[in-house]
Structure 1
Amino acid sequence: MAQSSTPSFFSQEELNKLKSDCKTGGLEAVTPVIQKKLKDLDNTEFNIVVTGESGAGKSTFINALRGLQSDYEGAAETGNTLTTMEPTGYKHPNLPNIFLWELPGIRTKQFPADKYMKKMQLKRYDFFIIISRSRFTENDVELTKEIKRMGKNFYLIRSKIDSDLNTFEMEGRKHNTDEELEKIRNYCVCSLKEEGIPSLTVFLISNFKVNEFDFPALNKSLPDILKNSGKGVVILSLPNTTLGIIEKKIKELKEQIWMFAAHSGAVGAVPIPGLSFYFNVQALVTAIIHFHQCLGLDDVSLQKLANWAGKSVNDLKAVVKTPLVGEINEQFVITILMGSISVGIVTAEVVLDTIPNVGSIFGAGSSISVSHKLLTDALNELTENAQRVVQAAFGTD
């Protein structure tokens, strides 16, 4: 499918300069710029802070976002007592440049509301998630207003929805789940509106049921309001709980392919016997491994998804029908190159030309064209497998 927009990692000015430099100095002239962009993909940090009053379920929420149960190594400490005494950062298990920060609960003896804002140094964070276990309090409102004053984006979350609904069942009271959820949502929105915070979406979630209530909607919408510099990183860090999330990841990964392809035809490129082009095979290895990890097809991600869905990990692995999730090494990629070269360079040229500016920068009939086709085919194959895994885990989207 043709790309409809210019790749988002480069400005139009940068793309024009790439084209000019490539014409005058060849591929070697643009290699440093491409290398830097690929390095930026690995090093972009994005700091998401989770805050709210003590006991709201912040630690459990962070574990849920990271796909960890409370007894797993590296999980945030949970409990019925105050467990977080200072800002604590947790790396995303797959993407180490995503950090989830848990702040101590506001309005405790140790952290009174009037000193909380300054002591927590809120300006250092990129995005905020404010969690409440019942109604949003005066402290939550003040925190929200401060975040708005800083020009930062945030979400409001009402946690422990499953506990609210369980109360009805324990008391033997008849209730309509959808109606009760709507009552809770309206109450939260109206309470915030009375405090001068209108038109906000409130997510109703259970930290133990990540594919129910508003948790899937939260995962889907989180990337849409993040600043551009960190957007792609956050999209790729999301767990594959819905087909919609996979679609967002695919769009992001497609925009990365041409950089990996250009890198494979530039730095350290060597001839491969039987082929007429030069390739940096390790760059292709790195790209394929990156794709299958981002799409949640590695063993660790599959196990976490199985835990969430209450399924056997073997059931999920059974629907994975591709060698691209096994051991990926240079010989494996060379074998693919030798096998796919007969498809023809003309096809590869068309693929590059569908990306605005990029095809005209590098031209056609090159190792970049072949690398681009190989990586596109690999991503398509991995995508089909990732979609089958989600359907096996949750049935439907």
Structure 2
Amino acid sequence: MNLSLNSTFFNQQELEELESAYGSGGLEAVAPLIQEKFHNLKSAELHIAVTGEAGVGKSTFINAIRGLRGSDEGAAETGNMETTMEPIQYKHPSFPELCFWDLPGVGTLKFPVEDYLCKMNFEKYDFFIIISRGRFTENDANLAKEIKRLNKNFYFVRSQIDNDLHALEMEDRLADKETELIKIKNYCVEGLNLAGVSPSTVMLISSFQVRDFDFPALKETFLNNLDDIKKDVFLRTLPNTTLKILEQKTDHLKKRIWIFATVSGTVGAVPIPGLSFACDVGILVKAIKEFREYLRLDDASLQRLADTTGKPIEVLKAEVKTPLIGEVNEDLVKRMLLGSAAAGISAAEVAVDAIPVIGCIFGAGSSFVATYKLLNDVLNDLVENARKVVKAAFKID
């Protein structure tokens, strides 16, 4: 049996367990293991703590990375006064499984550093973002050391870079922007090194220019350092601000299709008139809706993109020409399955040999092959429409 080392969501040990289960009990033994992984994907959460001194822009950053403006519903409160008195949870507006925690500013009279570290319950967060502005401080160093002591990851983010460059320009001291950015980054790295904390990542950002400076690289770094399940949580929340993000989403969704197809064909599968196999059409309906939302083709996501880019919502919606943007129900999916079956599907069309364990269980004409092919076709259609939206929103040729 061929196991794929590139299978997302299943590590090598889990793949070997699938192989062993199939060897001893066949498909009936494999299906519950895959269903368990399916439910784990649906219930996974990611908790990210945003910390730093008061007034460095933590709340503004939380809004920016969730694709919200300060005036939007659910936005974190911002201002010149200290606004955060206790850890506040801010869920993503469309994907509540992603939670950002706005921690109070460290080093104030209300939260001196000696009390802060124990009161903030650092253990509960998956990783940390330390926001800093201006000079590297002792509080920055203490936060970094405590997080490292807990064996947690942190990313050091120098905020309001646009303001720094503008101030230098106004004083006629900005000789070269790139040189100045390197100087600022090196200053932060040196501060962390002197504190005895070797920085894994230092990023320079503006929360008002999320396509500039290191903001795109910061999100990329998050993705690269998360396991597959946590990565799935974070990736689905990202707005499609670049074609690269869209490509990453596409690759990730392709690696999920075989899980949907397997669960649909084994758990709660029922015969469909006109077809030679059984499947759970309800799961396929949910998969298509999830793909649509993941690729940000739902009305709420398109509206937020329009607000962010200044493009009329009608311009963006005009790029979406797939019927899948309308109502998706079981009748529609059954018609799609019948159409696929009528066209004829071969196992070779879906490259089943590249799918761990499952590829060698199902043959041509099975529910797995049909649903796998259907979801691939759906994904390709939605991705093409999402690509057109991104190009229209950001004037990409």
Distance in 2 (CA, whole Å) between partners of 1:4 and 1:265 is 21
Q: Does 1:324 align with 2:362?
A: no
| Residue 113 (structure 1) shift | 0.8
Question: 1:194 and 1:17, CA in 2 relative to 1: closer, same or farther beyond 3 A?
Answer: closer
SS in 1 for 2:285: helix
Distance in 1 (CA, whole Å) between partners of 2:36 and 2:371 is 19
SS in 2 for 1:297: coil
Distance in 2 (CA, whole Å) between partners of 1:239 and 1:394 is 12
Distance in 2 (CA, whole Å) between partners of 1:20 and 1:220 is 36
Q: Does 1:41 align with 2:41?
A: yes
Q: Does 1:201 align with 2:201?
A: yes
- Residue in structure 2 matched with residue 117 of structure 1 by the alignment: 117
Distance in 1 (CA, whole Å) between partners of 2:380 and 2:87 is 40
Whether the aligned pair in 2 keeps the contact of 1:54 and 1:105 (CA below 8 Å) is: yes
| Residue 101 (structure 1) shift | 0.5
Letter of the structure 2 residue corresponding to residue 333 of structure 1: V
1:192-246 alpha-carbon deviations (Å, 9 max, x no partner):
3333334543211111111111111112221111245522222222222112222
Equivalences for residues 1-397 of structure 1 within 5 A: 5-19=5-19, 21-22=21-22, 27-171=27-171, 175-347=175-347, 350-396=350-396
Whether the aligned pair in 1 keeps the contact of 2:49 and 2:100 (CA below 8 Å) is: yes
Distance in 2 (CA, whole Å) between partners of 1:113 and 1:258 is 49
SS in 1 for 2:47: strand
Distance in 2 (CA, whole Å) between partners of 1:159 and 1:119 is 25
Normalised to the residue count of structure 1, the TM-score between the two structures is 0.92
| Residue 25 (structure 1) shift | 5.0
Please give the root-mean-square deviation of Cα atoms over the aligned residues, in Å.
2.3
| Residue 169 (structure 1) shift | 4.8
Gap regions ≥5 residues in structure 1: none
Distance in 1 (CA, whole Å) between partners of 2:292 and 2:301 is 10
| Residue 252 (structure 1) shift | 1.7
Question: 1:170 and 1:264, CA in 2 relative to 1: closer, same or farther beyond 3 A?
Answer: same
Whether the aligned pair in 1 keeps the contact of 2:347 and 2:363 (CA below 8 Å) is: no
Distance in 2 (CA, whole Å) between partners of 1:50 and 1:286 is 33
Letter of the structure 1 residue corresponding to residue 333 of structure 2: V
Whether the aligned pair in 2 keeps the contact of 1:103 and 1:120 (CA below 8 Å) is: yes
Distance in 2 (CA, whole Å) between partners of 1:347 and 1:25 is 23
Whether the aligned pair in 2 keeps the contact of 1:127 and 1:226 (CA below 8 Å) is: no
Whether the aligned pair in 1 keeps the contact of 2:54 and 2:106 (CA below 8 Å) is: yes
Q: Which moved more, 1:211-220 or 1:113-122?
A: 211-220
Distance in 2 (CA, whole Å) between partners of 1:365 and 1:16 is 27
Q: Which moved more, 1:164-173 or 1:273-282?
A: 164-173
Letter of the structure 2 residue corresponding to residue 74 of structure 1: G
| Residue 190 (structure 1) shift | 2.7
Letter of the structure 2 residue corresponding to residue 356 of structure 1: P
SS in 2 for 1:265: helix
| Residue 54 (structure 1) shift | 0.3
Distance in 2 (CA, whole Å) between partners of 1:20 and 1:201 is 41
Normalised to the residue count of structure 2, the TM-score between the two structures is 0.92
Letter of the structure 2 residue corresponding to residue 127 of structure 1: F
Whether the aligned pair in 1 keeps the contact of 2:131 and 2:157 (CA below 8 Å) is: yes
| Residue 13 (structure 1) shift | 4.4
